[in-house]
Amino acid sequence: MSTFGLHTFAIAPVWDIARIDPQMDRLKEHGVGLLEIPMFRPQEIDTKRTRSFATHYKVELFASLGLPASLDVVERPEEGLEYLESAFRVCAEVGSFGLGGMTYGAIGKTTGRARTKKEIDSICRFLERAAKTAKAYGVKIGIEPCNRYETHLINRGIDAARIIERIGAENIFIHLDTYHMHIEEESFAAVLETAAPYLGYVQVSEANRGVPGRGMLNWDAAFKAMADVGYEGPITLESMNRVDADVAGKSDVWGSVDENPDDVIEVGLPFLRDAARKAGLTLG
């Protein structure tokens, strides 16, 4: 059984308990057992209140981010490590088992050319050091392959797998997203098979980031691929309904992804549960 999650962009542009709390009863009715926290500014998270909130509603928490554009892990890794450490500290305090997303770069930041050996070597050294820091906090690091328009560094599951194999740290895992897979991979089956030994988190998102089932994503193939490799980790809906301003422009989200944003929850969550069930997966 996989924990059924929801990225809070479906409700609020930042981690805002005042806006999320009134939605919790209906989210629990839909079987949501995990909330994904956008952690682009870790210092803004009220950790005591957040942990109390999660305990009260009996939900797991998972944090994700992209590094700020001002950071450069190739030329100035120390700044990036300091930033990640602040996020690891928050993860530990709120009870998130890991920190996923673009932990290796900034969303929307590219060089206009293919990644270089220097860049990959530097990312590996950076993540190796970050993994040691994360371990001290009891936290794991997820690396999310993202599409070519958001980064030139890690675009496919095999890119992430090679980096993890090279580093050899036990607390680094692959974080996949059907939105990025739909753009970059040959098939869901191929990428899930490649990523399976290191897979720790999956975001499910429609091809247009909108309501699952209303776009072009092949959901049957996506869930079958997860079932075929025996994936039992969290499966979390990420829909760009209400996006942090710092992220929206970098990921080219210009407004609500649906005429009725509430459909992401009321239509999208039941659709995903049913599609997963047909593939032999239980979301609960």
- Phi then psi for residue 36, to 5 deg, are -95, 125
In this prediction, residues 224-250 reach a mean pLDDT of 81
**81: buried, middle or exposed (CB in 10 Å: 19+, 13-18, 0-12)?**
middle
Tell me the pLDDT tens digit for each residue of 179-211.
999 999 999 999 999 999 999 999 999 999 999
Q: Residue 9's pLDDT band (boundaries 50, 70, 90)?
A: very high
**β-strand 4-7 against 199-204: which pairing, if any?**
unpaired
**Cα–Cα distance measured from residue 38 to residue 11, given in angstroms and rounded to the nearest whole number:** 12
Place of tokens 């998270």: 45
**Cα–Cα distance measured from residue 15 to residue 174, given in angstroms and rounded to the nearest whole number:** 23
In this prediction, residues 101-125 reach a mean pLDDT of 96
- Which pLDDT does position 182 carry in this prediction? 98
Given a cut of 80, is residue 242 above it in pLDDT? no
Does pTM surpass 0.85?
A: yes
The CB density around residue 205, as the number of other CB atoms within 10 Å, is: 24
In this prediction, residues 105-132 reach a mean pLDDT of 96
- Which pLDDT does position 284 carry in this prediction? 83
- Which pLDDT does position 31 carry in this prediction? 97
Please report, rounded to a whole number, the percentage of residues in the chain having pLDDT higher than 90: 91
Token pair of 259, please? 């005429």
- Which pLDDT does position 260 carry in this prediction? 80
Token pair of 222, please? 């996506």
Residues in the chain: 284
Given a cut of 70, is residue 245 above it in pLDDT? no
Alpha helix (H) ranges present in the chain?
Answer: 17-20, 24-29, 47-57, 77-94, 117-136, 157-167, 178-184, 188-195, 219-228, 245-248, 263, 269-278
Token pair of 60, please? 């797991």
Q: Does domain 4-278 have CATH number 3.20.20.150?
A: yes
In this prediction, residues 98-113 reach a mean pLDDT of 95
Beta bridge partners of 32: none
In this prediction, residues 120-140 reach a mean pLDDT of 98
- Which pLDDT does position 240 carry in this prediction? 78
| In the chain, domain spans | 4-278
